């Protein structure tokens, strides 16, 4: 079975630009969560979607948004990028449990 | 406001010996705790979990202990193997299926 897949794996953006990160959950998983991991820190919760509805939102500015599609894949959008948005963005999916399965992440560098 | 703290940034252990990774939390509403392992260039991988109704959970070489009164949990790896060398994250949630709050991680190095 394919695991959680994220695309792209790496990208470089300029300050002020917009970025869209994509995530395909494990087949059958209806919950998708997004986390931001800054170097030297643990992953920090951004959003959780379940059955296409936002179920939770972390302490991130409105520049961050997300959505989940009918096939349960998800997008994370970040507007007006700042240097501080440089991080590893992790997507995780789960069926019903807390045992989130994580993708390998998208490494975003803002210059 | 760090609700989950892993105070040891790194730990070095000899192969075959016990590795003990520690985690403290401040939020008394947490009722489910997990450990994840992360290798470079990979996403975190679930290792073991424990609910607040238990004080111990075992899975092979891995055992997690929970002390609710002290708001402390630990992960024991016995015996440690070089392949266990990775970053270990402690995580917690207030409700089963809800968002995870992670610690900063502990780098474990197992020397052969």
Annotate chain B with DSSP letters as a single string. Answer: --SEE---SEEEEETTS-EEEEEEE--TT--EEEEEEE-TTS--EEEEEEETT-SEEEETTEEEEEETTTTEEEEEESS--GGG-EEEEEEEESSTTS--EE---EEEEEE-
Residue A98 has pLDDT above 70, yes or no: no
Judged by a CB distance cut-off of 8 A, whether residue A4 touches chain B is yes
Name every chain A residue with its beta carbon within 8 A of the beta carbon of B91.
42
B53-88 tens-digit pLDDT = 999 999 999 999 999 999 999 999 999 999 999 999
**What number is the average pLDDT over the span A16-28?**
96
B99:A56 CB<8 A: yes
Residue A99 has pLDDT above 80, yes or no: no
Judged by a CB distance cut-off of 8 A, whether residue A106 touches chain B is no
> Which pLDDT band holds residue A61 (cuts at 50, 70, 90)?
very high
């Amino acid at each position: 079975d394919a695991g959680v897949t994220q695309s792209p794996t790496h990208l470089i953006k300029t300050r002020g630009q917009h970025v869209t990160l994509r995530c395909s959950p494990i087949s059958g998983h209806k919950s998708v969560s997004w986390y931001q991991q800054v170097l030297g820190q643990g992953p920090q919760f951004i959003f959780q979607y379940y059955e296409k509805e936002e179920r939770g939102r972390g302490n991130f500015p409105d520049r961050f948004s997300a959505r989940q599609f009918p096939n349960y894949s998800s997008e994370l959008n970040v507007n007006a990028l700042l240097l501080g948005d440089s991080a590893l963005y992790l997507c995780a999916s789960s069926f019903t449990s807390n045992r989130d399965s994580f993708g390998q992440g998208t490494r975003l560098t803002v210059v | 406001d760090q609700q989950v703290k892993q105070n040891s940034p790194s730990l070095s252990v000899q192969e075959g010996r016990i590795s003990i990774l520690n985690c403290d939390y401040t939020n008394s509403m947490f009722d489910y705790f997990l450990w994840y392992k992360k290798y470079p260039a990979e996403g975190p991988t679930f290792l073991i979990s424990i609910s607040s109704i238990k004080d111990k959970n075992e899975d092979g070489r891995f055992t997690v202990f929970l002390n609710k009164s002290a708001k402390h949990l630990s992960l024991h790896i016995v015996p440690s193997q070089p392949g266990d060398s990775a970053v270990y994250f402690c995580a917690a949630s207030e409700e089963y299926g809800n968002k995870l709050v992670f610690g900063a991680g502990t780098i474990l190095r197992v020397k052969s």
